[in-house]
Amino acid sequence: MEIVCPAGTPAALRAAVKAGAHTVYCGFADETNARNFPGLNFSREEMQEGVRFAHAHGAKVLVAINTYPRAGSETLWRQAVADAETAGADAVILADPGLLDYAAQSHPDLRRHLSVQAAAANADIINFYARAFGVKRVVLPRVLSVPEIAAINAETEVETEVFVFGGLCVMAEGRCSLSSYATGQSPNMNGVCSPASHVEYRETGEGLDARLGGYTIHRVGRDEPAPYPTLCKGCFTAGGKTGHLFEDPVSLNAEQLIPQLAKAGVTALKIEGRQRSRSYVAQVVRNFRTAVDAQAAGRPIPQGMLASLSEGQATTTGAYKKTWR
Amino acid sequence: MNENLVSIPRVPSVLARPLGLAPLAPLSLSLNAFARAVARNHPGLFRRLGDHAHSTFVLDPTDLPFAILLEPRGGAPKVSVGRGAVRGDARIAGPLAAFLGLVHGAFDGDALFFSRDLVIEGDTAAALALRNAIDDAELDFADEAARLSGPFAAPLRRLIALTERRMGICLSRPPEEAAW
């Protein structure tokens, strides 16, 4: 199975390739990609150098252009597709049907992957994207169980890529605007969920307050893990009770499910975290490369050591095992 | 699950305490010269700071009796050291070893933040930009110091290696051999 690794900077790309990534995904330094954070992402020149480095080491580069074009500014997104092809990218990861159509018409030789932001969660819609826009691979939303993924693979020729590690969203992928209510910016339009410019931490007598857009989203005691203030993972008090309303701040870790995912017909395993450091990238990639090689050789998957890298310092297998059912 | 937490060494108080009495001007001058040399060798670091290239950062090593004020000034950085209330747009506090590990890519910044080994106050976006810019720069303080040391580079490298072994801190970039 192919490991698809995040890179928020050229240094992280090199770290991922050296750590054993088969493929690296990254984005341009603007709102065309869903990790539009300060200090992150690639200039056009950096993208070309990154692709050269990856190809020289036998790895591929995918360029994520996976936000939804703003009306009147579609040129920015179209130019990103053209620049990805010029840089020598192996594929682009797109979500918007209009942009997919543009890429299919104007850059037919550039391989197209469907972003998780498109929330394609059944074989009919995936096959539609394949017929209409020549999509070769779909990144499945993190709402499917392993049997559901197997059912999709049984009915489509499109390759499937699934997340195996990193941050989780509670909403159907790509359809969340919670962040907009507190900050005016959303993942789909601006490439940022809970932008850092609206985040503030305050040490108080009661603990650490994590605030977003002036609202306290979470308060933790001295010895508890620090939270990032996303509304969906906030801890609220209502009706005399305090708790996580939507979701606990935990991260996905499906490394022990790699054999089942392989059996379900999955082509590629994706690691979340373009906003993370090259240290994170190297550790996670090395871990998953070891696991995938063990799977291919018929050896047991080694026990993971990645919890400390996770949000909330705790992990879950998420929807892959729907234990709440 | 809470296994595999990173263990961050602290500067022993027997070493840190005398620094509380030492004059800070020589340290400021040395760090300033060092920062200028880093800026010359890594101009991309300041480009990556983008809108935050003129923000001010307080780096507060909690196991040392002073804090560092870093002013990137768009590529002509200024560094000064102070005791008491040092003010800037963003303040990042944590053990010295955490800062050094971050600079050299040995630690993940988010993991240190989740575990509360690092604390961020003030302009979170500026702090994030600085973290990302430094992570991309692939700095190696041992290399930078050796470049400034002329004929003393070799003994300096030996001293740095000895300090790393004895104190468990990261003063140079760990080797990144291709794993596959």
Q: What is the mean pLDDT of residues B140-168?
A: 91
Q: A64 with A211, same domain?
A: no
In SS3 terms, B19-76 reads as HCCCCCHHHHHHHHHHHHHHHHHCHHHHHHHHHHCCCCEEEEECCCCCEEEEECHHHC
Tell me how crowded residue B36 is: count the other CB atoms within 10 A of its CB: 15
User: Which pLDDT does position A179 carry in this prediction?
Assistant: 87
B-chain residues within 8 Å CB-CB of A31?
none
A12 lies within 8 A of chain B by CB? yes
Structural domain contains residue A173: no
Judgement on whether residues A239 and A255 belong to the same structural domain of the protein = no
A288: phi then psi, degrees, rounded to nearest 5: -75, -30
Mean pLDDT throughout A234-252? 82
- Residue B119, chain A, CB below 8 Å: the answer is yes
Domain containing residue A221: 178-244
The interface predicted TM-score (ipTM) is 0.88
Same-domain check for residues A209 and A190: yes
Residue A325 included in any domain = no
How confident is the prediction for chain A on average, in pLDDT? 90
Burial of A241 per CB tally in 10 Å (0-12, 13-18, 19+):
exposed
Find the mean pLDDT for residues A55-80. 96
How many beta-carbon pairs under 8 angstroms link A with B?
139
Kindly tell me if the per-residue pLDDT of A247 is higher than 80. Answer: no
Selected from 3.40.50.300, 3.30.1050.10, 3.40.640.10, 3.40.630.30, the CATH number assigned to the domain covering B13-139 reads 3.30.1050.10
Q: Are residues A119 and A199 in the same domain?
A: no
Note whether A145 and A228 are same-domain residues: no
For B69, phi and psi rounded to 5 degrees? -100, 115
Are residues A198 and A98 part of one domain?
no
Q: Say if residue A26 carries a ligand binding annotation.
A: no
Q: What is the CATH number of the domain that holds A310?
A: 3.20.20.70
Averaged over A63-84, what is the pLDDT? Answer: 96
Does residue A85 lie within any of the structural domains? yes
A52 CB near a chain B CB, below 8 Å?
Answer: no
Question: Do A60 and A196 fall within a single domain?
Answer: no
Q: Please check whether residue A276 touches B, CB under 8 A.
A: yes
| Closest-CA residue to A274 (of A266, A284, A265, A264) | A284
Interchain CB distance below 8 Å, B125 and A225: no
Residue-range domain boundaries for chain B: 13-139
Instruction: Please count the structural domains in chain A.
Output: 2
